[in-house]
Amino acid sequence: MDEALELIQKRQAFIEQVKILEETRKSIDVRIEDVLGPGTHRIGSYSVTIQDTTETRFDTTAFKKAHPELVEEFNKTGNKHVFRIVEVSE
């Protein structure tokens, strides 16, 4: 059990480091966008594209409300493996 606790604590520390790195990456991305502006840019060996796009996505929540009978007809059941660690107070 001591080994599992040590591994969990190490994992949690990595998760915090990843959050910090992701926040840093996002701020760098914003700065790059500010410097370059919209368009496609060739910077050294990199091609950087900055553009707004429109996408169409299927609204499953609205579909489920409007056509519950069709949802059941087209639902698929599958198996998945769950690995979850949640810190609980003692």
Taking only the tens place, the pLDDT of each residue in 64-86 is 999 999 998 999 999 999 989 88
Longest Cα pair distance anywhere in the chain, in angstroms? 55
76, part of any domain:
no
| Angle at 64 (CA atoms; ends 82, 80), nearest 5 degrees | 15
3, part of any domain:
yes
For residue 53, what are its two tokens?
A: 């796009």
C-beta of residue 12 within 8 angstroms of C-beta of residue 87: yes
| Count of domains for the chain | 1
87, part of any domain:
no
Residue 1: domain span: 1-52
- Residue-wise pLDDT for 15-43, tens only, equals 999 999 999 999 999 999 999 999 999 99
Element (H, E) at 47: strand 46-50
68, part of any domain:
no
Residue 90 reports pLDDT greater than 90: no
Q: What local confidence, expressed as pLDDT, does residue 33 receive?
A: 97
Q: What local confidence, expressed as pLDDT, does residue 57 receive?
A: 96
Q: What local confidence, expressed as pLDDT, does residue 65 receive?
A: 95
31, part of any domain:
yes
